[in-house]
A and B are shown apart, each in its own frame.
Chain A
Amino acid sequence: MALAIIRILIGIFFVVSGFEKLINPYENFLYVVQSYELVGKPLDLLTAWFMPWIEFILGVFMILGLWLKITLRGMWALLIIFIFVLGQAILRNLPITECGCFGDLLPLPLAVTVAMDTVLLITVTFLRAFIQKTSLLSLDRYFLSKQ
């Protein structure tokens, strides 16, 4: 049960992060993407448009326990990307004072965000390893029982 609760909490975390970016003007997150100086046009525009949707939808799927194996894999990949992007910004000493990951909601320094994402990555790895327990209270289980 504990793993299922952790799964739901991580889902809420991603939903909030995606929601905050989605309801605010797109230009804010575009500025964040551009400040990491990793992708040029039009990739920055695409990233700023798609990333919040990916976060939000993955979060919803995680809460509902829908396509859990794929969702966890997606979340794992997303966290690896976040850690890489933040890490390169720290190494290159880019003038970014806060990560911009949660907009105005939670301004966090880069190092703190890397630490937080690493903890999330470990947790998601753990959830993947114990998928049976993670999938308690999930739609996946419901559909499996119907078969």
Chain B
Amino acid sequence: MKISKPAVTALVIVASVVFINAVRLLMDRARRLSPSQVSAARTKGNPRAPIRIVEYIDFQCPGCISGSLLLKEYIEKYPAQIYLELKYYPLSQIHRHALKTAVYSECAARQNNFWPFFYTMLEKRSVWERMINPDSLFIDIAKQLRLNIPKFQSCAENEKTKTDVLNEKAEGRARGVQSTPTYFLNGKMLTGPKPLREELEKFFKGDSL
């Protein structure tokens, strides 16, 4: 059988497209099957809201902070319209305190004080980012919030807390998250604060905060 060069070229291109799309299909199925559970302490807004957002963040990423503050403003303005779930996605290879901040936040969440701890931590970001060991600062924040300090400290030292945070990151990766911040707005994936703002503005008909 004689086959021409242009025919082989077309065959290679078609085979590549079919192969990639088959892998994508399999990956999409796996992503849909991955579980989505989050501690109630890390949710905000109306659970029956028309806009459901799952937010994957790293506490040292600048885009995550601007995205979180944007969501805070929108939820304050439209508390009945938005439901938010926050999930950890620490990028430890590029942010030295990424895992630690997630672990401490999780410990605050386990005492039902995630949001005040989170926002105070964001306010003091410029301080703890420069510290080699910011543990004392996080414990100070916990004290200010009147958390149970021995419980908070033992939670932070417990390897299981770290494993839980990393499991949540693995769950995010299984859903296709690769960078932060990544949002799932009613299931639609948005990466970065800019597309989030655009989608929210679209929903609230041009109300840019």
Q: In the complex the two chains form, is A139's CB within 8 Å of B192's CB? A: no
Contacts A30-B191, A100-B179, A103-B178; A23 near B24 (Cβ below 8 A): yes
Chain A residues closer than 8 Å to B12, beta-carbon distance: 60-61, 64, 66
Flag A20-58 by CB within 8 Å of B: 1 or 0 each: 001111011011101100000000000000000000110
Say how far B12's CB is from chain A's closest CB, in angstroms.
6
Please name all residues of chain A whose beta carbon is closer than 8 Å to the beta carbon of B192 when the two chains form the complex: 31, 34-35
B57 to chain A, nearest CB (A): 14
**Contacting residues, chain B, for A32 (C-beta < 8 A):** 179
Judge whether A27 and B191 touch: CB under 8 Å.
yes
Interface residues of B in 1-36 (CB under 8 A from A): 2, 5, 8-9, 12-13, 16, 20, 23-24, 27
Chain B nearest Cβ from A86, distance in angstroms = 16
The answer to whether B194 touches A34, judged by C-beta atoms less than 8 angstroms apart, is yes
Contact of B189 among A23, A25, A56, A97 (CB under 8 A): A25
In which size bucket is the chain B interface?
A: 20 to 34
Q: Which residues of chain A are near B77, meaning CB under 8 Å?
A: none
| Interface check B176, CB cutoff 8 A | yes
The CA-CA distance from A22 to B191 in the complex, in Å, is: 16
CB of B190 within 8 A of CB of A27, answer yes
B173 within 8 A of A: yes
Q: Smallest Cβ distance from B21 to chain A, in angstroms? A: 9
B62 within 8 A of A: yes
Mask, A125-147, CB within 8 Å of B = 1, is 00000000000000100010010
Let me know if A19 and B194 touch, CB within 8 A. no
**Cβ of A117 < 8 Å from any Cβ of B?**
no
Cα-based distance from A60 to B173 in the complex (angstroms): 27
Contacts of A143 in B (CB 8 A): 5, 8
With a cutoff of 8 Å between Cβ atoms, the chain A residues found around residue B182 in the complex are 27-28
**Docked CA distance A27–B94 (Å):** 21
Given contact pairs A104-B173, A107-B93, A28 touches B191 in the complex (Cβ within 8 A): yes
* Contacting residues, chain B, for A25 (C-beta < 8 A): 176, 189, 191
B 177-203 contacts with A by CB, 8 A: 177-179, 182, 189-192, 194-195
Q: Would you give the shortest CB distance from B160 to chain A, in whole angstroms?
A: 25
Residues of B within 8 A of A (CB): 2, 5, 8-9, 12-13, 16, 20, 23-24, 27, 62, 93-94, 173, 176-179, 182, 189-192, 194-195
Nearest 7 pairs between A and B by C-beta?
A31-B191, A25-B176, A27-B191, A28-B178, A97-B94, A31-B192, A143-B5
The contact sample of 9 A-B pairs, CB cut-off 8 A, is A24-B176, A27-B191, A30-B191, A31-B192, A34-B194, A57-B16, A66-B5, A95-B62, A104-B178
Given A24-B178, A27-B189, A56-B16, 19 further pairs, Cβ under 8 A:
A19-B20, A22-B23, A23-B20, A23-B24, A23-B27, A24-B27, A25-B191, A27-B190, A28-B176, A28-B179, A28-B182, A31-B192, A34-B194, A56-B20, A60-B12, A66-B5, A104-B178, A139-B5, A143-B8
